[in-house]
Amino acid sequence: MRLRAGSGILGGDMPTREPKFPRTPVIVVSGFLGSGKTSLVRHLLRDAQASGSRVAVVSNEFGELGIDRALLGGGGQAFVELDGGCVCCQLTDELVETLESLRREVRPDRVVIETSGVALPYDTQLNLYREPVSRWVGEDIAVVVVGAEQLAAGRDLTQTFEDQVTSADYLVLNKLDLVDAGRVEALEARLREIEPEAPIVRAVRGRVDPRLLFVPRPRPERGGPDPRREHSHEDFASRELEVPPGIDPERLESALLRGRALRAKGFVELDGGVRLVQLVGPRFELLDPPDDLDPGLVGRVVVIGREPLRVSLAGEDDA
């Protein structure tokens, strides 16, 4: 569990971000050449269109996206291509400048950074802690796409491939339609040898439930069914967990992890005040809340995970 002022990634000595809001979530989509990163980005854009969200895309391989720029109603300014180098090393200054320009001109609700096939997501994420973008970037998540066919064939499983996999918050095992169904568990076991903790999500054509990456806010009214979403290869459930004031953070963390939660986000009142709760795979964080937080959101955490989702605070008093 991490308890600090700013959002964080993957451990290590990271600078904290100033608690200025509203903050914008950022997804870094990485993966080896041909793994299906572009398909995942297209899928996220279609979901944004359906939900009415503004998304800004920064891509090292933008020419391959083939996106209809009218898709989100944001015009060409919402899509930026960075070429001539890699965003994790050669184009770091350009990446920061581009993100800041998008914030001013587009004011996106979400940002997606698609790296080149040889980039490392961790090094890309480090740029999100630089001024001035550190003032407005919220949670940052590394999603690494792995092509099932490539993994099954043992093709190009280089040190770069392993470095990408070990940097992931989520691993998307993609293109499952190109391999025999009987081999999927063995492929997941191979990934587990490289990265034992990051959740593995199965996908075809990059169709991953977007709620895993961009957690929805609690609804104004409690309860009710989830809105219908585009079908993904795996089915996920979501629910809203009511959290009593003064809860022990370790009790809450235990309840989320034991209940098969893959993603969680919401606000809870601890003994030291209200905190923003975030769960990304096995990573649990408590962060500063926004200054203009609606009091009606406190004590409510949206939880997303595989069925059966059994998140409950009952019986966790001594956990």
117 near 88, Cβ under 8 Å? no
What string of pLDDT tens digits covers the 319 residues of the chain?
A: 433 333 332 233 444 444 444 789 999 999 987 898 888 988 998 888 888 888 888 887 644 444 433 333 344 447 676 665 565 555 678 889 989 998 998 899 999 998 888 888 888 899 999 999 999 998 899 999 999 999 999 987 888 899 999 999 999 999 999 999 999 999 999 999 999 999 999 999 999 999 888 877 654 443 433 444 444 445 678 889 999 999 999 999 999 988 888 888 899 999 999 999 988 888 898 988 888 788 989 999 999 887 778 888 876 543 3
Residues in CB range of 85: below 8 A, 6 or more apart: 91
pTM: 0.76
Nearest residue to 263 (alpha-carbon basis) of 177, 189, 201? 201
Provide the angle, in degrees to the nearest 10, between the axes of the packed helices 184-194 and 159-166.
90
Residues 100, 101, 105, 107: what is their CA dihedral angle, to the nearest 10 degrees?
Answer: -30
- CATH number of this structure's domain 217-319: 3.30.1220
| Domain boundaries of the chain, sorted by first residue | 2-9+19-212, 217-319
What's residue 19's pLDDT? 43
CATH architecture of the domain covering 2-9+19-212: 3-Layer(aba) Sandwich (3.40)
- Report whether 168 contacts 125 (CB < 8 A): no
The pLDDT of residue 222: 39
